[in-house]
């Protein structure tokens, strides 16, 4: 099936700010946030599984089956594909209770409140109250999917009208599609051109591992904290491998620019492990490409031994 979900600027890893008055405003004002706002946050997995949200409850007969869900948004007058749950199970009782997950979600909602973007039902609660309410809300997270089968695309893809023709652009219930259409959506995703700076060939396990790795490198909260710690210690951004300083080389335009590198390949992480600021290294664009170039990965310490004295050419 195809399920429309709320627009999210963080890749559905945490709730987005700025939605009270535009687009999804009515829904967010009434519900506080979008239940699906954490649908692709692997750091919140419980026992290797993400418990996500889709506005669908199968009949008792169908509830024992597995489901494949394509998630889509509607923007700029087009349906756009954003990701998949493959072989998902419906869990009538909702997600398991996990204190770490509850606290992480509470922090996200407190951050949302500080941006004046948390809906009415939640704004009057303190941190403890938010945790208790989130615990109750876990019963709505009824779609259990293994983290390897929760696939988020690097960017939304326009869906051809032949695959999704619904004219009800505010639908909340899922749209059933036949197996051929769903296969075509999967093919559309697999054919999508990768951004030039990304190289999935560096991952022998394939595209899905690459997507998981990039999601960790682009986790805004973790990257922000890694940068904050680095600035506090060094006062400026320099590559932790070669020492390159973008501001020193390019001037004002280079100030504050640096790339984030997750130091451990996703394929070597334990299922359900979280990404911490200490897992992120700050590197220049060239070193980042070199770190991803070979199989197995080149480590930062190894790459440092390969550096040659710089030769300045006219």
Percent over 70 (pLDDT), the chain: 82
What backbone phi and psi angles, to 5 degrees, belong to 166? -55, 135
Specify the higher pLDDT residue, 195 or 13: 13
* Mean pLDDT across the chain: 84
Tens of pLDDT, residue by residue over 148-197, are 999 988 778 888 888 887 666 666 677 888 899 999 999 888 765 444 44
| Partners of 75 in beta bridges | 78
Token representation of residue 175: 């749209």
> In 3D, which of 262, 286, 156, 135 has the Cα closest to residue 209?
262
User: Residue 122 is encoded by which pair of tokens?
Assistant: 């939640």
> What is the Cα–Cα distance from 70 to 143, expressed in whole angstroms?
13
Q: Where are the domains of the chain?
A: 2-191, 200-306
**How many angstroms separate the Cα of 32 from the Cα of each of 27, 113, 125, 144, 199?**
8, 10, 11, 23, 38
Distance CA 26, CA 31 (A): 9
* 90-145: pLDDT as tens digits: 999 999 999 999 999 999 999 999 999 999 999 989 999 999 999 999 999 999 99
């Amino acid at each position: 099936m195809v399920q429309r979900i709320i627009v999210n600027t963080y890749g559905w890893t945490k709730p987005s700010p700025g939605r009270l008055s535009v687009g999804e405003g009515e829904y967010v004002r009434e519900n506080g946030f979008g239940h699906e706002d954490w649908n692709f946050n692997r750091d919140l997995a419980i026992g290797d599984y993400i418990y996500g949200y889709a506005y669908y409850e199968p009949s008792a007969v169908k509830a024992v089956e597995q489901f494949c869900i394509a998630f889509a948004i509607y923007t700029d007058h087009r349906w756009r594909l954003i990701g998949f749950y493959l072989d998902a199970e419906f869990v009538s009782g909702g997600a398991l209770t996990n204190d770490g997950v509850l606290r992480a979600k509470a922090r996200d909602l407190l951050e949302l409140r500080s941006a004046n973007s948390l809906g009415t039902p939640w704004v009057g609660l303190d941190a403890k109250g938010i945790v208790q309410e989130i615990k109750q809300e876990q019963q709505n997270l009824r779609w259990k999917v293994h983290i390897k089968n929760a696939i988020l695309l690097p960017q939304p893809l326009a869906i051809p009208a032949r695959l999704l023709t619904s004219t009800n652009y505010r639908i909340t219930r899922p749209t059933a599609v036949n197996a051929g259409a769903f296969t075509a959506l999967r093919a559309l995703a697999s054919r999508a051109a990768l951004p030039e700076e990304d190289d999935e060939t560096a991952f022998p396990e394939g595209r899905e591992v690459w997507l998981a790795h990039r999601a960790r490198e682009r986790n805004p909260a973790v990257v922000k904290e890694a940068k904050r710690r680095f600035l506090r210690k060094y006062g400026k951004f320099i590559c932790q491998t070669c020492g390159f300083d973008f501001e020193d080389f390019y001037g004002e335009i280079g100030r504050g620019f640096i790339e984030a590198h997750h130091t451990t390949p996703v394929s070597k992480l334990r299922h359900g492990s979280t990404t911490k600021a200490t897992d992120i290294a700050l590197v220049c664009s060239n070193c980042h490409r070199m770190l991803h170039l070979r199989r197995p990965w080149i480590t930062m310490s190894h790459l440092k031994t390969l550096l040659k004295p710089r030769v300045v050419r006219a």
